[in-house]
Structure 1
């Protein structure tokens, strides 16, 4: 959402600044997770002997840009790479009054760590509704947003985007059901959507797995 996915190492700064501004009133207890976009996904998809090094470096670069934009409006963020993520670290950062900013990552053996997996594990542990701010309006079938989903049988085949190494929308939805969490998938680029989602308003697609 915050990068220009078709352009390597391109941040969509207007969208990033808009989103950061919309979280300002919700920072207490907030945990942010961002994916690789045109940074990590670009490097992870290259056949380079330096793939692991460059993927890791690119994700840290994107994370630093996010935290810097947060700091510009007085929000204290703190980085937590996916390769060292655990819930205890998240809680320690929160206890210091900071916002943990986690990100999809890569291990030294080349294994990709999905930002979606991190988000889902946090939501599952604390029985939270996971909010996925994306660049589409929700789960689309035949061009229309499905307002609410209760099971996977509702869906027809969803296209996976070739550069999204974590499986695209179809894989995101599958993981949500597999982990039995509630989630909302919405367009984070649209002004006001991040704010309204954090406020508790239903937008995009609400996936209701548990009561």
Structure 2
């Protein structure tokens, strides 16, 4: 039974240049495609994550919550970031349930322990229980308590990477706005590994809009670190804007378009 981690990027499901603005049509279509993929592959186990986009990032930037929480105003901002991220999560859940996808939200702040900005431990048993029950567990970028910083923010990718240690997915699929990772000529790089990363590193830029968890360069580097740790894992960065692309990538991840990250250039 194959387990797939799927992340819907914050820039895909929200307009990151406007405060708390959901791309409702895109989100509804993605939910429809997820439902279709589950119908066509009923044994697929799916863990879904989504970014915070124009919800959590803008709230977090006001008090630099990711760097730490020190006083009452910081803690107030910490609570506001948590609320903003949860508001988007409710809309994602509503879209999925409307398409009969049995999605259940699992709030990372309730299960993550951080030390100096890094996830030290995560309770994965609730995610595993959801999968065993035939549900689709949904995680997201969230605040977290931190023994060194007081509080911080964990990205969706960080949460999913922490879960990968226990759940061992075969694929991590990252659906965003772009068709993959671009080189300097604005062409999609079909595959990235340690062997060719140095060549393409300079071509990786930041991300559009306000993002407190880093742009494409940091995401690619963290994904390669994850592949180093879990050699059975393959990762694909692809566009969720093109209708039909998500369902095909879920059903046939090895043959899909976009950029594949793995131990070797061939994945």
TM-score interval, normalised by the smaller of the two chains:
over 0.9
Aligned-residue offset at 1:127:
4.4
Separation in structure 2 between the aligned mates of residue 119 and residue 194 of structure 1, nearest angstrom: 19
Aligned-residue offset at 1:66:
0.7
Separation in structure 2 between the aligned mates of residue 47 and residue 84 of structure 1, nearest angstrom: 22
Separation in structure 2 between the aligned mates of residue 17 and residue 203 of structure 1, nearest angstrom: 22
Match of 1:58? 84
Higher relative CO (Cα under 8 Å, sequence separation at least 6) belongs to 2
Separation in structure 2 between the aligned mates of residue 137 and residue 100 of structure 1, nearest angstrom: 26
Contact 1:36 1:59 in 2 (8 A): yes
Aligned-residue offset at 1:196:
1.1
3-state DSSP class of the match of 2:88? helix
Separation in structure 2 between the aligned mates of residue 47 and residue 18 of structure 1, nearest angstrom: 34
Separation in structure 2 between the aligned mates of residue 185 and residue 124 of structure 1, nearest angstrom: 20
User: Does 1:160 find its partner at 2:210?
Assistant: no
User: Does 1:42 find its partner at 2:58?
Assistant: yes
User: Does 1:89 find its partner at 2:141?
Assistant: no
Unaligned runs of 5+ in 1: none
Contact 1:148 1:207 in 2 (8 A): yes
28-37 or 42-51, larger mean C-alpha shift: 42-51
Q: 1:129 aligns with which of 167, 171, 182?
A: 171
* 22 and 117 in structure 1: CA distance in 2 versus 1, 3 angstrom threshold: same
Unaligned runs of 5+ in 2: 1-11, 39-43, 65-72, 112-122, 228-232
Aligned-residue offset at 1:94:
1.6
**What is the correspondence of 1:85-124 to structure 2 with a 5 Å cutoff?**
85=111, 86-108=123-145, 109-124=150-165
3-state DSSP class of the match of 1:45? helix
Aligned-residue offset at 1:25:
3.1
Separation in structure 1 between the aligned mates of residue 178 and residue 110 of structure 2, nearest angstrom: 30
Greater gyration radius: 2
TM-score (structure 1 length as normaliser) = 0.92
Taking only aligned residues, the RMSD between alpha carbons, in angstroms, comes to 1.8
Separation in structure 2 between the aligned mates of residue 56 and residue 17 of structure 1, nearest angstrom: 24
3-state DSSP class of the match of 1:91? helix
Contact 1:132 1:183 in 2 (8 A): yes
